Amino acid sequence: MIEETLAKIEAALSAARVADPKNKAELIALLEKLKAEVQQGKRSQDQLDAAGAGLRDAALDFEATHPTLAAVINDVSTMLAKLGI
C-alpha cells in the first residue's frame, strides 16, 4: 500500500511543473530517501520474522529434548502470569 502511494507521489512529482527546478530536485531526493527507509523497514520486518521462526524452532527443540524442564518452566511462567508478573 505504501509503495502505491509512493508511486503516485513520484508520478505526480514527475508530471508537476515546478517554477524552480532546484525545489523539484530536492523533492525527488526526499522521495528517494523515503523509499529507501520503506525498504529498510521491510528488511527489518523480514529479519524479525526470521528471528521469531528461529526462536520458535529452538523452543520446540528444547521442549523435545528436555520435556520435564520445559514443563516446569511452563508452570512457573503460568503462575507468574497469573500474579501479573
Inform me whether the pLDDT recorded for 79 exceeds 90: yes
Residue with cell 502505491: 4
Q: pTM (2 decimals)?
A: 0.49
pLDDT, one tens digit per residue, over 44-75 is 888 888 899 999 999 999 999 999 999 999 99
Question: How far is it, in rounded angstroms, from Cα 43 to Cα 50?
Answer: 11
Q: Would you tell me the crossing angle of helices 21-65 and 67-82 to the nearest 10 degrees?
A: 120
Contacts of residue 6, defined as CB under 8 A and 6 or more positions apart, other chains included, come to: 31, 34, 35, 38
In this prediction, residue 46 carries a pLDDT of 85
Residue-range domain boundaries for the chain? 2-82
The residue ranking higher by pLDDT, 79 or 21, is 79
pLDDT at 2 exceeding the cut of 80: yes
Out of 17-21, 36-40, 63-67, 69-73, which region has the weakest mean confidence (pLDDT)? 17-21
* Residue 81, SS3 per DSSP: helix
